[in-house]
Amino acid sequence: MMVNKEFNLVLLGPPGAGKGTQAGYLTKAYHLLHVSTGDMLREAVKEGTETGIEAEKYMNSGELVPDSVVTRIMVERMAKPDAAGGVIFDGYPRTVPQAKSLDDALIKEERSLNVVLYFETTEKVAIERLSGRRVCGKCNKNYHVTNMPPTKDGICDVCGGELIQREDDKPETVKNRLTVYKERTKDLIEYYMKKGLLREVNGDLPAKQLFDDIDALFRQEGLINDGDNGQ
Ligand code: AMP
C-alpha cells in the first residue's frame, strides 16, 4: 500500500478530461477503489433497474441526473467494505449540493477528502477525446480510435467484446454535456478552492505524462510515500 493513510480523492473536470483514464492509473498505483457515478448509472440502465429507467432520459440528452438519485447510489456504494481503504470519486460530485452530501456522508464515517484534482482541459481536446472514444459493450473498458486503439479493430483486448460508441458521446449530446458541465460545475470549483482542497492539473496532456505529474504532486504534498508508484 503506497498511500500514507486512508485516501479520498475527487476527480473534477469536463467530460473528456481523461478522469476515467487517470482513475485507472491511480487505482493500480495506490490500490484505491475507483467509483464512477457514470459507470454505475450505465450499469443500472443496462440492467433496467428503477434507477436506470429514471436516469436514462437525462443521460441520453447530456443533462445531469437529479442530485437525490446520484447521491443515493453513491452513499450505498461507499458503505460497502471495499470502500473503507480510500476512494477515487470520478464524476461525482458534479454540483454543490452533491459536494455537501458527500461531505456529510464522509463525516458520518469519520473520513474526509484529502484532495480534489481539477483537470483543466480545453474544449477542443475534450471534444476530440469524446468523439473518438469507444467502449467495450461487455466489460466497459475504454479505448480511443487514435490515442488508445485496441490491437484488433473494434474488438476489446481484454474480453473480446465488441467496441461501441456511447450514445452520449455522439456530437449532438457532447455539446450539451460540455455546456451543462460549465454551468453546473463553476461553483463546485470555488467550493473546493475555499476549502483549500483544489489542485489544478493539465488535462490536455497525454495520459501517462499527466499521471507522472499527479504522482509528483501527491509526493510533494506528502499524500503518498516515497518509492515505487507501482507502474
Ligand atoms: P460520465 O460517464 O461521468 O460522463 O457520466 C455520464 C452521464 O451520467 C452524465 O452526462 C449524467 O447524465 C450522468 N451522471 C454521472 N455522474 C453524475 C452526477 N454526479 N450527477 C448527475 N448526473 C451524473
pLDDT tier, 223 (very low <50, low <70, confident <90, very high otherwise): confident
Which of the listed residues 59, 78, 165 should we mutate to test ligand 1's pocket, taking the one with most ligand atoms within 8 A of CB?
59
Please tell me the predicted confidence (pLDDT) of residue 2: 54
What is the percent of the chain where pLDDT is above 70?
Answer: 95
pLDDT tier, 224 (very low <50, low <70, confident <90, very high otherwise): confident
Please, what is the average pLDDT of the chain? 92
**d(CA 97, ligand 1 centre) in Å:** 15
Mean pLDDT value across residues 195-219? 96
pLDDT tier, 231 (very low <50, low <70, confident <90, very high otherwise): very low
Please tell me the predicted confidence (pLDDT) of residue 87: 94
Q: Is the pLDDT of residue 230 over 50?
A: no
Residue 94 appears among annotated catalytic residues: yes
Please tell me the predicted confidence (pLDDT) of residue 225: 72
129 lines ligand 1 (CB under 6 A): no
pLDDT in tens, 65-109: 999 999 999 999 998 989 888 899 999 999 999 999 999 999 998
User: Ligand 1, atom 6: nearest CA belongs to which residue?
Assistant: 38
**Active-site option among 42, 77, 129, 133:** 133
13 lines ligand 1 (CB under 6 A): no
Q: Is the pLDDT of residue 184 over 80?
A: yes
91 lines ligand 1 (CB under 6 A): yes
Mean pLDDT value across residues 15-24? 95
**d(CA 21, ligand 1 centre) in Å:** 16
pLDDT in tens, 64-73: 999 999 999 9
User: Ligand 1, atom 19: nearest CA belongs to which residue?
Assistant: 92
User: Ligand 1, atom 11: nearest CA belongs to which residue?
Assistant: 64
DSSP 99-153: HHHHHHHHHHTT----EEEEEE--HHHHHHHHHHEEEETTT--EEETTTB--SST
Residue 19 appears among annotated catalytic residues: yes
Mean pLDDT value across residues 200-217? 96
Q: Is the pLDDT of residue 174 over 50?
A: yes
DSSP 10-68: EEE--TTSSHHHHHHHHHHHH-PEEEEHHHHHHHHHHHT-HHHHHHHHHHHHTPPPPHH
Mean pLDDT value across residues 149-159? 96
Please tell me the predicted confidence (pLDDT) of residue 194: 97
Mean pLDDT value across residues 43-62? 95
**d(CA 59, ligand 1 centre) in Å:** 7
Please tell me the predicted confidence (pLDDT) of residue 185: 85
User: Cβ atoms within 10 A of the Cβ of 208, count?
Assistant: 11
